Structure 1
Amino acid sequence: MPSSDQTGKQPALSLLPDVSRAQSINGGWQAATTMAELSKTGRKLVRLKGCQIAIFQTDTGLYACNNRCPHEGFPLMEGAISQGCVLTCNWHNWKFDLESGDTLTGGDKLRRYPVRLSDDGTVEVDMSEPPMAQQRDQILANLDVALHEYDYSRLCRELARLDLIGADPLDAIRVAFACRMDRFEYGTTHAMPGAADWLAYRAELSDDRERLASLAETIGHIAWDSRYRPVYAFSADVKDWSETGFAAAVEAEDENTAIALVRGALAAGLTWDDLRPAFARCAMRHYAGFGHSVIYVSKIAPLLALLGAQSLESLILPLTRHLCSVTREDLIPEFRAFNVVRKDWDSLVASEPVTKDDFLGLPVARVLARIRRSAGDVQGCYHALLGAAAWQVRHFDHRVMYRADMPIGTNVNWLDVTHALTTAQAVRELATDMPELWADGLLQIGCFIGRNTKYVNDETGQADDAAIAAIEDNGDSDAILKNLLHKRVLDHGCDDYIEPVHRLKTIMMARAELAAFPDAPWRDDLLVAVNRYVNGEFPRRRALRTAHQSISFVGRE
């Protein structure tokens, strides 16, 4: 055991022998202690170059390691040696093989140091640091294990280690997408667009803790969505790129062909700028995945701007899988009008003036028909739809989330209404660059408006008059949204990833749209809506409702 005072307590760090100024022997070798001193207890704690180093004399040799357990920092000098050179941290039973360096029980690798014994009995420890590239590669290899096991705390520690050695912490995100892209059974998840927003938000932060937290949320979401998943292999075939062929493969849900065409595009050196129109058209062709497809396509460009072109393959292969497997709600009765209205669009579209009130209270089919009467002015129609979507979030009847007698098809929550906002932003960004997409995009927003009509109440959302008045009177919308980001997103306290990432996406959407249209007529409604949503409760599992729906469903089987 380590040397101690008469109380048996480990000496304070300031009392440890400081040999950091000892003469360096052959570069990084430092005189640490003597064999005579070490043999008294079989272990010795010293401080070298500002680090606590634990030295052990065992049946199999001499070993030195960081005294702090890589799990939670407890002193390994208080640990037990067994089986010759297995060191156990007695706080949480993590076990380390001092000979091989393997972590036998636990996660993080233990930092070990070479030890040698000089002719005069001096125990020397090599304190030289491995090359930065070697350390980086080891950390990234460790991350792969933590990703598979969804070890959030370890992910965060490895990110901190990456930053500490001066490596690019975004390498961790690049590796995470590359290592886990074939673990997403149905392709892209919210982890991808969430990464775009988390990393964009991180770029605004100066506090090291906040910057690390944003990275941890990014990589944690990737790990959560792919945890313990087997490999869902992508086709290795390569075919010459053809947008027509790609669209046909996606429409036929032929993933292997679609992937082969994408691989051909990458082999030919095509960039996301080259491929983006094809993906956008496929995402817009259907009201698919409740707006997710459009959002996913829109977030590739900003994410690549942060991660670099080397991440293109790991982002678009899962996106291709998503487009081939995603649900197509325009094929079910509630949204069938999407294709009916779109069919004769070019010959019947008009430019009738429109406001948000023209869309409120209407079912899906009537909303879409009303869009066609005004879509000749795409900007005017877009603003009216966004205004209606913001109004619906502001007036969402949150009581519906707590009802236990709801039919199984009406399990709605905040995400059902806020998705209209985030989809609207994605539509505007894509259709601004590709104007031919406005028709499909406006109709997608309209599907949300018509569907959410059932879940709003004119009186709901007016209870907190003081907060609403403060928002409406405050001219600095960006300050309002930054405050929400700080208070309700970064240190969210949520058990899952969907809730905080949706808060983040919705706030970032509001910032982008208000930056583009600072004097838009929907400004106040949007700010009030986002404030109400972000500060609202988010019930996810409703035991009584699930029981009610199960009894009802099984009774009709």
Structure 2
Amino acid sequence: MTSTNDNWVAATTLAELSETGRKLVRLDGHQVAIFQTETGLYACNNRCPHEGFPLMEGTVSDGCVLTCNWHNWKFDLENGDTLVGGDKLRRYPVRVTDDGIVELDMTEPPQHQQRDEILSNLDEALHKNDYNRLSRELARLDMIGFDPLVAVKKAFALRMDRFEFGTTHAMPGAADWLTYRQELTDPYERLACLSEILGHIAWDSAYRPVYPFTTDVAAWSEADFSRAIEAEDENTAVSLVRGALADGMTWNDLRPAFARCAMRHYGGFGHSVIYVSKVSPLIDFLGDDALESLILPLTRHLCTVTREDLIPEFRAFHVVRKDWDDHVDREPAHREDFLGLPVARVLSRVRKSAGNPLTCYHALMEAAVWQVRHFDESVMYRTNMPIGTNVNWLDVTHAMTTAQAVRELASELPELWGDGLLQIGCFIGRNAKYVHKDGDPADYAGRSGIDWEGDSETILGDLLRDHTLYHGCTDFIEPVHRLKTISMVRSELALFPDAPWRKDMLVAVHRYVSSAFPRRRAVRVAYQSTTFVGRG
């Protein structure tokens, strides 16, 4: 068919269409389905926006309701609404000339209009935790020539007030996914990185109500912000942050205040320190205008996060930290100085060596790496265990990822080394109960067949590809934690290629990423529920 003018294209004739009431035509690279119904003529993309099945084979009812018979998605051909399903159906205006020619307006909407519609669809897909639709919307955005990073920025903005307790792993995970994406050339793998980001945001916020942030604005004061965080006064803390943003302060201006608050407590099992450290790379990717949607949830997190240093096992954190400057020493520390000790003794030993913080850091990192390499996996499978001993790979590897965040923040703000080293020490003391005391009985390093003295980038690159993008996990925390851990190892080995923990770190992360990871233990939960309730 030829174009009758700049916009309208002759598609068929009314006589041809009347024979069956529907006709498939191919125009400008599109398959278009035209329907003649009791309420009028309608044209739409033949490919269902769900999974691409032909709508020509669908059912028309109630005059203008088109049903895709593969998955029962329904579309109102009159106004374009998706009645059952998600993605919107592309429709084309129809007219009939005086001589019975059926013409379609094939004009593509302006790119900015298409972009805005795609971004407006994100909220519904995020709220319904519709991973496949999120991926399709990203693909559409890329197809019309827009950087799909705008969808990541939009997603954080749309869902920031749906995280009841503030920042989740979706935020730091996004930083690592975007960093990894830079290395990739395959378009599908690059898209998968973005899909994992949006999917994680959706997973953590789907079907949640709004937990509004105060709109009050107060003049920024780090001292007032610190006091508000300590008092768990979210409204005051948020109003101060809003004041800082209103005055044009950047993340570089605010990062020290957030870092100091995160380091003050052994909080959220190390998450606070990691979350603060990951804002900078995300801002580099998303731009300064994403700052509000990242740090308001982070402020909420700091106000609501658990403070493990207040429970008996970790109270030595503040005992040792008190009068720190009068007791800190430069006694050389080695891995063995920290292994096998309870928390209080580890922290006491940290103080003896913290006068040379980077040396102490290396000794603690080496101890953390050794524990991961020698983690006793059987604890993940035991049934008759108290709730407090529910540990898995995430618990033991968190010592390593927190250590990296500590190093990054304390290198910028040296006064934070003390708090940071003690946080790493808390992990070492806690994890001492969950390792093989006499080494690795399975000899993972020996039987793996890997040349651990070889190129670490080759070893880690294979892990990244096989266990992050191609993970096959049903949740998001497991693959993102693998990504976070492998990324941490790559970063630390690049910075310290001759570190004494190099080989152990490669073996440790390879063992972790390649191992089974039982996230839910039905009988253990039943046992713990029964024994807990039975105590009265």
Shorter chain as denominator, the TM-score bin is over 0.9
User: Secondary structure, in 3 states, of the residue corresponding to 1:26?
Assistant: coil
Q: 2:493 matched to 1:514? A: yes
Task: Give the corresponding residue for 1:449.
Answer: 428
Task: Give the corresponding residue for 2:213.
Answer: 234
Q: 2:314 matched to 1:335? A: yes
Q: How many matched pairs?
A: 535
Alignment partner for residue 73 of structure 1, among 27, 49, 52?
A: 52
Q: 2:435 matched to 1:459? A: no
1:393-404 matches, within 5 Å, as 393-404=372-383
Q: Is the 8 A contact 2:58 2:69 kept in 1?
A: yes
Alignment partner for residue 453 of structure 2, among 468, 473, 482?
A: 473
Task: Give the corresponding residue for 2:292.
Answer: 313
Instruction: Write the distance in 2 (CA, Å) between the matches of 1:459 and 1:449.
Output: 16
Instruction: Write the distance in 2 (CA, Å) between the matches of 1:144 and 1:444.
Output: 37
Q: 2:171 matched to 1:192? A: yes
Task: Give the corresponding residue for 2:392.
Answer: 413
Q: 2:356 matched to 1:362? A: no
Alpha-carbon displacement from aligned partner over 1:187-238 (angstroms, at most 9, x marks no partner): 0000000000011111111101101111100000000000000000001110
Alignment partner for residue 220 of structure 1, among 196, 199, 207?
A: 199
Alignment partner for residue 126 of structure 1, among 59, 82, 105?
A: 105
Alpha-carbon displacement from aligned partner over 1:500-553 (angstroms, at most 9, x marks no partner): 010000000000100110110000010000000000111011111111111211
User: Secondary structure, in 3 states, of the residue corresponding to 1:264?
Assistant: helix
Amino acid at match of 1:556: R
TM-score by length of 2: 0.99
Task: Give the corresponding residue for 2:76.
Answer: 97
Task: Give the corresponding residue for 1:148.
Answer: 127
TM-score by length of 1: 0.95
Q: Is the 8 A contact 2:445 2:507 kept in 1?
A: no
Amino acid at match of 2:206: R
Alignment partner for residue 260 of structure 2, among 281, 286, 292?
A: 281
| Farther-moved stretch of structure 1 (118-127 vs 213-222) | 118-127
Distance apart, 1:461 and its partner CA: 6.1
Amino acid at match of 1:453: A
Instruction: Write the distance in 2 (CA, Å) between the matches of 1:27 and 1:431.
Output: 63
Distance apart, 1:28 and its partner CA: 2.6
Distance apart, 1:473 and its partner CA: 2.9
Amino acid at match of 1:412: V
Distance apart, 1:465 and its partner CA: 4.2
User: Secondary structure, in 3 states, of the residue corresponding to 1:93?
Assistant: coil
Q: Is the 8 A contact 1:283 1:293 kept in 2?
A: yes
Instruction: Write the distance in 2 (CA, Å) between the matches of 1:168 and 1:162.
Output: 7
Q: Is the 8 A contact 1:471 1:527 kept in 2?
A: no
Instruction: Write the distance in 1 (CA, Å) between the matches of 2:531 and 2:55.
Output: 58
Q: From the superposition, tell whether residues 359 and 471 of structure 1 become closer, same or farther in structure 2 (CA, over 3 Å).
A: farther
Distance apart, 1:26 and its partner CA: 2.6
Q: Is the 8 A contact 1:468 1:528 kept in 2?
A: no
Task: Give the corresponding residue for 1:166.
Answer: 145
User: Secondary structure, in 3 states, of the residue corresponding to 1:387?
Assistant: helix
In structure 1, runs of 5+ residues without a counterpart are 1-18
Instruction: Write the distance in 2 (CA, Å) between the matches of 1:241 and 1:319.
Output: 16
Q: Is the 8 A contact 1:197 1:508 kept in 2?
A: yes
Distance apart, 1:25 and its partner CA: 2.6
Distance apart, 1:460 and its partner CA: 3.0
Task: Give the corresponding residue for 1:376.
Answer: 355
Alignment partner for residue 385 of structure 1, among 352, 361, 364?
A: 364
